Amino acid sequence: MQINELNQKRGIKLHIVTGGAGFIGSGFVYQLNLMGIDDILIVDNLGCTDKWKNLVNLKYRDYIHKNEFLPRLEKGQFNNIESIVHMGACSSTTELDADYLMTNNLQYSKALVRYCVSRNARFINASSAATYGDGSLGFADDHEQLPKLRPLNMYGYSKQLFDLWLQRKGFLESTVGIKFFNVYGPNEYHKGNMQSVARKAFFQVRETGRVKLFKSYHPDYGHGEQKRDFVYLKDCLKVMAWFLEKKEINGIFNMGRGQARSWNDLTRSVFSAMSLKPEIEYIEMPQELRGKYQYYTRAPMDKLEKAGCPVKFHSLEDGVQDYVQNYLMQEDPYLSAC
């Protein structure tokens, strides 16, 4: 029986998660499972990657390739859609194919929004802190600030263009866009060079006993003292679940811890979770990254707090400890809701 026929017969409310085999996407499927929801359609492109491993412990109704999904959606082959949680995108900050990013991150997203708005389905989208550029204009998730932002890379620009399109169309009043800062946590092993430094550091320590961090080329920051807003995946998932239920709350929101912590802090937390003494080596940053490097990010979280979100976030130390000891050091490092 096709998924659409099953929905009609049972009156099922279907939740669609694009990028559902990826880092945050598979994490949100896990969160839905914890909420007793398994009528989930996962949209992704597994290819020759190991992302499928993220799905093994999760409960969901079906999987469909991203290239097949949109044409079927636009033909009306899915009914009773409760939500589309759009985590599917090219998230590489070093991707140079601008046309690919425009198609994948912008046009695909537009089509999903049009569908959801026309049918009163919940739409939650992954924006990015990369839209803030070098941070000279601040990191406020204020809608009036959106047109002023200047991203440093094409990935950030593709996300910025979509945010601006939502604003022009008036869709920010009925959708949620989440600007993720530096997320770390389970299910990110497949991300290659885009894995969090927390995960990279763990395996560097296990293999060599030390961690390599980039040197600083800014007079205001010492080596390893470049700062980021690190946020634990589990906290992000709880906030996303809250947005799913609070349909009256919409707009662009930051997703961070609200604190700027250094790479040194993060690395020391990894060593501490492994009960080891810190050993850090500072190396040269590749020349092509130096002009595009963010030395400081911090997510003002006032807007989310004022909206009434009750989620209590892990500290950096507590989040890293949970990640290292309960996932990275275990044989099965994946989120499991079964």
Q: Which of 30, 60, 115, 155 is catalytic?
A: 155
110 is catalytic: no
Q: Which of 59, 191, 200, 238 is catalytic?
A: 191
β-strand 40-44 against 62-65: which pairing, if any? parallel
184 is catalytic: no
Neighbours of 310 (CB within 10 A): 8
The region, left, alpha or beta by phi > 0 then psi within -120 to 50, assigned to residue 209 is: left
Neighbours of 297 (CB within 10 A): 20
Q: Are 304 and 178 in contact (CB under 8 A)?
A: no
Count of residues in the chain: 338
In angstroms, the CA 75 to CA 6 distance is 17
In angstroms, the CA 338 to CA 33 distance is 8
Bridge partners (DSSP) of residue 296 are 227
Closest CA to 129 of 79, 68, 177: 177
Q: Decide: helix, strand or coil at residue 190.
A: helix
Supply the residues annotated as catalytic: 155, 191
